[in-house]
């Protein structure tokens, strides 16, 4: 009798715990799926949904505001996606908002993202269809990356070939770097140019003091001084004119 009573108590506890977990699971799932919150319905269409599934989150302004309720193929180029959105979010979603498909991180679940609309647009209505932006397929991204990798490999090979030729002394740049005779010749040319410039300056100074050319240089200096004086006078007259106008 005592054994039978103990068994019944354990059975009752097991059933009670099971019911508690069952109710808790229903509550958690219902909360995630907005079963216990007032909701309204929105719909949109895509050419391809890129793996979006029923039950995936709907996000607005970075916040989960609903779930994907239904996905249905309309024809060979159109897929309709129905959403259930929390009723208190309706006032923030405008009629010109658009839906697009994103993902939770790089390899996470797909999500439906509602973009921001304009402030002067009307509030969205229950059952209204939103515009959509087609998602970028992962295969297209990978193909683009593959092309970039191939191009980078070609450029790297060409640079390596150029550096090999330069290091071996081939080409003009390679000879300039590797051949010391060319480098010394270039240095000597620069030194000669500096000497020629210095000699030209000395000749000009000597010419200024030469008896035959002294008059010419004096005229040049007087003309420059006269021009500077006229410019200074114009500036002074302009200042006086502006002062009188005030």
Q: How many domains does the chain have?
A: 2
pLDDT of residue 71: 92
Scored b (16 or more CB within 10 A) or e, 164-191 reads: eebeeeeeeebeeeeeeeeeeeeeeeee
45 lies in the same domain as 93: yes
pLDDT of residue 104: 81
Is residue 82, in this structure, part of any structural domain at all? yes
Tokens 């208190």 sit on residue: 88
Tokens 């009723």 sit on residue: 87
Q: Which of 152, 178, 204 is the last residue of a domain?
A: 178
129 lies in the same domain as 90: yes
104 lies in the same domain as 173: no
126 lies in the same domain as 140: no
67 lies in the same domain as 157: no
Give the β-pairing of 131-133 and 98-103.
parallel
Could you list the pLDDT tens digit for every one of the 246 residues in the chain? 555 666 667 777 778 788 777 777 666 665 555 555 788 999 999 998 888 899 899 999 888 999 999 999 999 889 999 999 999 999 999 999 999 998 887 667 889 999 998 888 899 999 899 998 887 666 566 667 777 877 888 888 778 777 776 666 666 666 666 666 666 666 777 777 777 676 666 656 655 565 555 566 566 677 777 778 888 777 777 777 766 665
CA–CA separation, 112 and 169 (whole Å): 60
CA–CA separation, 48 and 136 (whole Å): 10
Is residue 198, in this structure, part of any structural domain at all? no
148 lies in the same domain as 160: yes
User: What is the token pair recorded at 220?
Assistant: 């040049």
Q: Which of 153, 178, 203 is the last residue of a domain?
A: 178
Four-residue CA torsion sign, 208, 212, 216, 219: positive
Q: Which structural domain, as residue segments, surrounds residue 161?
A: 136-178
Q: Which of 158, 178, 198 is the last residue of a domain?
A: 178
Is residue 114, in this structure, part of any structural domain at all? yes
Give the bridge partners for 132, in sequence order.
Answer: 99
Nearest to 136 by CA among 103, 98, 96, 104: 103
| Residue 21 CB burial class (10 angstroms; 0-12, 13-18, ≥19) | exposed
95 lies in the same domain as 167: no
DSSP 3-state of 82: strand
47 lies in the same domain as 112: yes
87 lies in the same domain as 144: no
pTM for this predicted structure = 0.48
Nearest to 112 by CA among 139, 144, 135: 135
Is residue 172, in this structure, part of any structural domain at all? yes
């Amino acid at each position: 009798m005592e054994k039978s009573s103990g068994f019944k108590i354990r059975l009752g506890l097991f059933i009670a715990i099971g019911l508690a977990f069952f109710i808790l699971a229903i509550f958690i799932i219902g909360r995630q799926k907005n079963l216990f919150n007032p909701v309204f319905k929105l719909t949109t269409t895509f050419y391809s949904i890129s793996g979006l599934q029923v039950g995936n989150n709907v996000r607005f302004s970075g916040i989960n505001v609903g779930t994907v309720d239904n996905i249905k193929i309309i024809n060979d180029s159109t897929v309709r996606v129905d959403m259930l959105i929390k009723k208190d979010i309706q006032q923030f979603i405008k009629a010109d908002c658009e839906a697009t498909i994103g993902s939770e991180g790089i390899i996470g679940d797909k999500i439906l993202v509602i973009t921001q609309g304009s402030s002067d647009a009307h509030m969205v209505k229950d059952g209204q269809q939103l515009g959509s932006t087609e998602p970028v397929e992962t295969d297209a991204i990978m193909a683009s990356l593959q092309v970039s990798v191939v191009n980078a490999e070609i450029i790297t090979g060409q640079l390596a070939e150029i550096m090999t030729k330069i290091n071996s002394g081939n080409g003009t740049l390679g000879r300039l770097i590797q051949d010391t005779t060319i480098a010394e010749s270039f240095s000597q040319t620069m030194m000669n140019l500096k000497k020629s410039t210095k000699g030209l300056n000395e000749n000009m100074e000597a010419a200024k003091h030469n008896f035959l050319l002294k008059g010419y240089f004096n005229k040049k200096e007087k003309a420059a001084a006269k021009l500077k004086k006229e410019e200074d006078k114009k500036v002074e007259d302009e200042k006086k004119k502006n002062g009188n106008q005030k």
